[in-house]
A and B are shown apart, each in its own frame.
Chain A
Amino acid sequence: MAQQPHPRFSVMSTSSLSSADALSPATSTTRFSLPSVNTASTSTRHAGPRPNIFDRSLNKTRTTEVSTSAFAFLFSEVVQYTQKRVSGINDLERRLNTLGYRIGTRVLELMAWRAESGSKAPKREIRFLPALMSIHTQVWKAVFGKPADAIEKSVSNEDEYMIIDNEPAIERYISVPRDMSQLSCSSFTAGIVEAVLDGLGFPARVTAHNTPVQGHPARTTILIKLEKSVLEREEVFKT
C-alpha cells in the first residue's frame, strides 16, 4: 500500500521530494526548506516565486523592517494579555522582562551572525564597556532603528550602569494611567538587554525606570546592575 507523504515534511532526502512531487501539486517550488501546510492555491496565486521568510538573507535589513503600527498593536495586546494575568505592577514588569529576554537571546545571535559571519577570526566582547557600547549602538539599531541616547555610570554604586532612551519606540503610543505611574513598559527592553548581557557572559539584573525631563516626557532609563563576578573579572583584566 503506497504511503501518502505527510504534507508537512521537511526535505532532507531528494527521494521523498520526488515522490511528493508526483502526488502533490504543492511542491512545484524547487526549494522546500519550510514545512508547508498550504498549498496549491498560494503557490499559483503568486506568479513569480516569492521567497518565504526562511529563505531571505539574514543580513539584509532594509527590506525586512516592520510597520510601527503593526508592532504597536501587537505590543499593546502583549501588555493587555500580560496585565490580565498578574497581580501588581512588579509582577507585570517582571513578565514583560521575561518576554523581552526571549527576544534578546535571538537578537544577540543574529547580531553576532551579522557582524562576525564574514570574518575569518570571529570574536566576541569580553570587556564590559565595549559590550555596553555595542548594546547602546548595535542592538538598539537592530531592534529600534536608532542608537540609544546616552550611557551613564552610577556615581554611588560602581556596579550600576544606565542606558538612556529619550523616546522609547515601544512606548510611543502608550499612556500609562496615573494609578500605575510606576510602571515602565520598557521592562520589555530591559529584558532584551539582560538577555544580551547574559549571552555575552555578563550576568546582570536589568530594570527600566521612567525618568522624564523637560522636553522628553517619555525618557526612560534602563538600569543595569552587574553581578559581583563580572566586576571581579574586570579587575583581573586591569592588572
Chain B
Amino acid sequence: MAIFGLWVINKAGGLVYQRNFADGLAQLTSNEYLVLAGTLHGIHAITSRLSPIGGPSSGAQVIEGESFKMTILLTATGTKFVLLTSLAETSAEIVLQKVYEVYADAVMKNPFHTPEMPIRSEGFDVRIGTLIGDGRTG
C-alpha cells in the first residue's frame, strides 16, 4: 500500500499545491499537473450533477484505475483535496481529513497566505511531511 501524491485544488479549479510521495506513478511536468487538476475539476462538476436521485450531490469521491486510486475530498468552501494512492490503500479518507485539518491550521491561519493562491507555507510542508512521510503505509 502506498500514497503516491497529494493535490489541493482551489474552488476555481487551479492547482495550488502538488506533492509526490512514494514512487509508482509517472513523473509529470508542473504544467501537466495543472492541466490534470483543471480537468478533474471539470469532471467533478459534471459528476456532481449526474446523481440518479434529485437534489445536490457531492460528486465523484473515488476514481479507480488499473494501477491507482484517486480519492477526492470536497470541502464546504469548494476546495478539493485529492489523494493518489495504490488500489489496496484503505486509509485515504482518514489521511484526507487530516490533511484538511493541517490545511486549516497551517495555511488558513497563516497571515502570509493569500486565499486561492498557491500554498507556499513552510509549516504546511513540514506537517504534511510528518503526516504522510515517504508515502509507504505498510
**A35-51 CB contact bits vs B (8 Å, 1 = yes)?**
00000000000000000
Q: Pick the contact of A83 from B106, B110, B111 — CB < 8 Å? A: B111
- A173 contact set on B, CB distance < 8 A: 105-106, 109-110, 123
A3 interface residue (CB < 8 Å to B): no
Instruction: Specify which chain B residues have a CB less than 8 angstroms from the CB of A17 in the assembled complex.
Output: none
Tell me if A174 and B111 are in contact (CB < 8 A): yes
Interface centre among A72, A75, A173 (most CB of B within 10 A): A173
B100-138 vs A, CB cutoff 8 Å, 1 = contact: the mask equals 000001101111100000001111100000000000000
Mark each residue of chain A from 164 to 178: 1 if its CB lies under 8 Å from any CB of chain B, else 0.
Answer: 000000000111110
Those of A138-195 within 8 Å (CB) of chain B: 173-177, 180, 185
Is B109 a contact of A177 with CB atoms below 8 Å? no
Q: Which of A69, A78, A174, A180 contacts B110, CB < 8 Å?
A: A174
Q: Is A80 close to B, CB under 8 A?
A: yes
Closest to A185 in B: B111
A79 to chain B: closest CB distance in Å? Answer: 4
Residue among A69, A83, A175, A176 with max Cβ neighbours from chain B (10 Å): A175
How many A-B pairs have beta carbons closer than 8 Å: the answer is 37
Pairwise interchain contact B105-A175, C-beta atoms closer than 8 A = no
A73 at the interface (CB under 8 A from B): yes
Cβ contacts A69-91/B at 8 Å (1 or 0 each): 10011011111100100000000
Alpha-carbon gap, A174 to B109, bound state (A): 7
Min CB distance B104 to A, Å, is: 8
A76 neighbours in B (Cβ, 8 Å)? 109-111
Q: Do residues B111 and A77 form an inter-chain contact, with CB atoms below 8 A?
A: yes
The listed residue (B108, B111, B123, B124) touching A80 by CB distance below 8 A is: B111
Residues of chain A from 54 to 74 with CB closer than 8 A to chain B in the complex: 69, 72-73
Residues from chain A with a CB closer than 8 A to the CB of B112 are 79, 174-177, 180
A76 to B115, CA, bound (A): 13
Bound form: Cα–Cα A76–B121 in Å:
14
For A174, list chain B residues within 8 Å (CB). 109-112, 123
In the complex, which residues 16-58 of chain B have their Cβ closer than 8 Å to any Cβ of chain A? none
Q: How far is the CB of A230 from chain B (nearest CB, A)?
A: 34
B-chain residues with CB within 8 Å of residue A73 when the two chains form the complex: 108-109
Q: Closest CB-CB distance, B16 to chain A, in whole Å?
A: 15
**Cβ–Cβ < 8 Å partners of B120 in chain A:** 177
Per a CB cutoff under 8 Å, which of B105, B111, B124 touches A79? B111
User: For chain B residues 80-116, which have a beta carbon within 8 Å of chain A?
Assistant: 105-106, 108-112
Which of B106, B110, B111 counts the most A-chain CB atoms under 10 A from its CB? B111
A79-B112, A174-B110, A180-B112 are known; give 4 further A-B pairs, CB within 8 A: A73-B108, A173-B123, A174-B109, A175-B112
14 of the cross-chain contacts (CB-CB < 8 Å) are A69-B109, A73-B109, A75-B111, A76-B110, A77-B111, A83-B111, A173-B105, A173-B106, A173-B110, A174-B109, A174-B111, A174-B112, A175-B123, A185-B111
User: Which residues of A approach B to under 8 Å, CB–CB?
Assistant: 69, 72-73, 75-80, 83, 173-177, 180, 185
Give residues in B with beta carbon < 8 Å to A. 105-106, 108-112, 120-124
